[in-house]
Amino acid sequence: MEIILLFFSALFFAYLLEPLCSKAETICNSRAIASFLSILFALLVFTILVSVILPLFESEFQKLRERLPLMISVAHGHLMNQLIELNLSFQVDLIEELKGKVLEFISKFKEKISGYVIGFLLGGTNIILDFLGWLIIVPVTVFYLLKDWHRIFFNFRKIIPSKLKNITAAVAEETDKKLKLYLKGQFYTICAMATFYSVALLIAGYENWVSIGILSGVLLILPYIGFVISMIIALLAGILDLGFAHGTLATLVVFFIGQFIEGFLLTPKFVGESVGLHPLAVIFSLLIFGSILGFTGLLIAIPITAIFSSLSAQALRSDRP
């Protein structure tokens, strides 16, 4: 099972690197060299992310984690005062119990961010095989997939029965279009929104503006759910840093402007309506495949969703008179 997951991970990375490899081939006039250079570039980017950016993220998120109990306590105090003023004191016990459970949950988060990342990457698989696979098997497989990319798909088309060639070609073309638009659009949107939230929260006076801003951008992977989670965290931080009224107002203004920018400007520009991946399908596919297969599950969740979306679209078209 682990070998199959490693192969699908390698196939996904090869799919991402194929455009870069094709451009490099036009320069060096050798598919093998272009494949090697593409993998080398990907490994260089990954090394920079792990050695430079990950420690920065870890430091910022560690600060945020340490401040979360204080954020919750301060927000709780303000909420209690508001409930008493509104004669809703009967809700105090319920909120006290909820506060206790949340603080207990946070207190269990003792490990560093890198520990969670490594644990997630290796989750649900044989740790030795997984480590060797990601170190050796995946890069080698990606190299040969890139090197023989066009030949592989040419031979694959030859073995497809004649009756299924047209529908298979249509599904593959539509899936490729949807997947490229979605991945490219999500990447640009996440980078742009992480930058916006970080700068906006810095201007508003948040202490943990970097970690909250980056988290708010990354959580856009989960439509709607990510927005709500990041907004709650920002609201808690705003109440602690700026006071109840100012913090609440600043959070609402920043996140509603951010939602407007994302929903009406970035998503239509970078993704568009033609992608056709329903937000609920994206949410459940990421949650289900991620929980079962770990990091590999996250990699293949969106491609599988795109394939099912294309198959559904083709089935609907074929049913029309």
Cα distances from 27 to residues 22, 32, 34, in angstroms, run 9, 12, 8
Same domain, 22 and 50: yes
Q: Which domain holds residue 276?
A: 163-321
Same domain, 13 and 142: yes
Q: Is residue 69 within 8 Å of 103, Cβ to Cβ?
A: yes
Q: Residue 81, Cβ neighbours under 10 Å: how many?
A: 11
Task: pLDDT band for 98, please (50, 70, 90 cuts).
Answer: low
Same domain, 131 and 264: no
Examine the pLDDT at 195 and tell me if it is beyond 70. Answer: yes
71 belongs to a structural domain: no
Contacts for 75 with CB less than 8 Å, ≥ 6 apart: 235, 236, 239, 240, 244
76 belongs to a structural domain: no
Q: Is residue 286 within 8 Å of 298, Cβ to Cβ?
A: yes
Dihedral sign of CA atoms 170, 173, 177, 182 in order? positive
Q: Which of the 8 DSSP states describes residue 91?
A: G
pLDDT for 133: 59
Q: What's the average model confidence in pLDDT over 239-248?
A: 83
36 belongs to a structural domain: yes
Whole-model pTM above 0.85? no
Same domain, 146 and 265: no
Same domain, 6 and 123: yes
Same domain, 142 and 283: no
Same domain, 222 and 321: yes
Same domain, 305 and 173: yes
Same domain, 214 and 180: yes
DSSP-assigned letters across all residues of 198-242: HHHHHHHT-TTHHHHHHHHHHGGGSTTHHHHHHHHHHHHHHHHHH
Same domain, 203 and 115: no
Q: Is residue 248 within 8 Å of 239, Cβ to Cβ?
A: yes
User: How does pLDDT run across 34-55, given as a tens digit for each residue?
Assistant: 999 999 998 888 888 777 666 7
Q: Which of 170, 185, 173, 169 is nearest to 282 (CA)?
A: 185
User: How does pLDDT run across 69-94, given as a tens digit for each residue?
Assistant: 777 777 767 666 666 666 655 555 55
pLDDT for 311: 72
User: How does pLDDT run across 111-169, given as a tens digit for each residue?
Assistant: 444 455 545 444 544 444 555 656 788 888 889 989 998 888 778 777 888 777 777 77
Q: How many domains does the chain have?
A: 2
81 belongs to a structural domain: no
Contacts for 224 with CB less than 8 Å, ≥ 6 apart: 279, 283
DSSP-assigned letters across all residues of 151-186: HHHHHHHHHS-HHHHHHHHHHHHHHHHHHHHHHHHH
Same domain, 12 and 140: yes
87 belongs to a structural domain: no
The number of residues making up the chain comes to 321
Residue linked to tokens 């390698």: 10
Same domain, 144 and 233: no
Domain end: 142, 159, 176, which one? 159
Q: Residue 24, Cβ neighbours under 10 Å: how many?
A: 21
101 belongs to a structural domain: no
Domain end: 102, 131, 159, which one? 159
Contacts for 59 with CB less than 8 Å, ≥ 6 apart: none
221 belongs to a structural domain: yes
Domain end: 143, 159, 175, which one? 159
59 belongs to a structural domain: yes
